[in-house]
Amino acid sequence: MIILGAAGTLFAAKLVYIITVAMTVGTTRGALYVSTSHRRIQAALDALPLQSGQVLMDLGCGDGRALRAAKKRCALRAIGYEINLLAYCRAKLFCAARGIEVRYGNFWNEAIQTADIVFCYLFPDVMAALEAKIKEEAKPGALVVSFNFPLPGLPPLRILRPEGSRQSDPIYIYRVASGDAQGCG
């Protein structure tokens, strides 16, 4: 009986996952909720000049782990956007007691001009559109951190490859200058 209960619970969880992915596939273009490793998040945060009062936005925040790690390091304002209902519920649950804002919805419809730091881990086919959004909306001096995939027309400020990480995929860091995201060398 216990085995049947466990199998039923696992089946229900997988079904919920499939339904939440299906609900967002038109917007996410098939991108799935994939957690970024803690080591990669820490490497990105180590490379940033975090300061109290800054605003960090995570576009597609998943379970909110990058927001929680940043908030733990510094008294900043952490805001995450998530369109996958299951990931959003997890983020709300994990972030609720930490003063982190997690918003259910499509970040493409949200303004990012208040962000000092923007995190993203998106599919390559949306990076050009994200670059255009950043050029149009981001404030000068803001930092953009992209896990795995570059903004196609911009030179990064830095490219990180965390040592000891099981995933050696790059982490790109950009600085927005004069209303346009641009690398500094």
Q: How many angstroms separate the CA atoms of 138 and 14, rounded?
A: 37
- Examine the pLDDT at 149 and tell me if it is beyond 80: yes
Q: How many angstroms separate the CA atoms of 88 and 83, rounded?
A: 7
The encoded tokens of residue 75 equal 């008294």
Q: How many angstroms separate the CA atoms of 84 and 106, rounded?
A: 9
- Examine the pLDDT at 173 and tell me if it is beyond 60: yes
Q: Quick one: CA torsion of 61, 83, 34, 90, rounded to 10 degrees?
A: 70
Band (pLDDT 50/70/90 cuts) for residue 47 is very high
Provide the pLDDT for residue 32.
61
Provide the pLDDT for residue 3.
80
Higher pLDDT, 147 or 19: 147
Higher pLDDT, 36 or 31: 36
Which whole-number Å values give the CA distances from 22 to 9, 16, 25, 181, in the listed order? 20, 10, 5, 33
Higher pLDDT, 97 or 117: 117
pLDDT, tens digit (0-9, with 9 covering 90-100), for 57-72? 999 999 999 999 999 9
- Give me the CATH number covering residue 82: 3.40.50.150
- The residue segments making up the domain with residue 163 are 2-182
Count of domains forming the chain:
1
Q: How many angstroms separate the CA atoms of 134 and 179, rounded?
A: 8
pLDDT, tens digit (0-9, with 9 covering 90-100), for 86-108? 999 999 999 998 999 999 999 99
Band (pLDDT 50/70/90 cuts) for residue 113 is very high
Higher pLDDT, 1 or 67: 67
Helix (H) or strand (E) holding 145: strand 143-147
- Examine the pLDDT at 79 and tell me if it is beyond 60: yes
Rg, the chain, Cα only: 17
Q: Which of 83-97, 109-123, 141-155, 164-178 has the lowest mean pLDDT?
A: 164-178
Q: How many angstroms separate the CA atoms of 4 and 39, rounded?
A: 36
Other CB atoms within 10 A of residue 109 CB: 8
Mean pLDDT of 19-38: 63
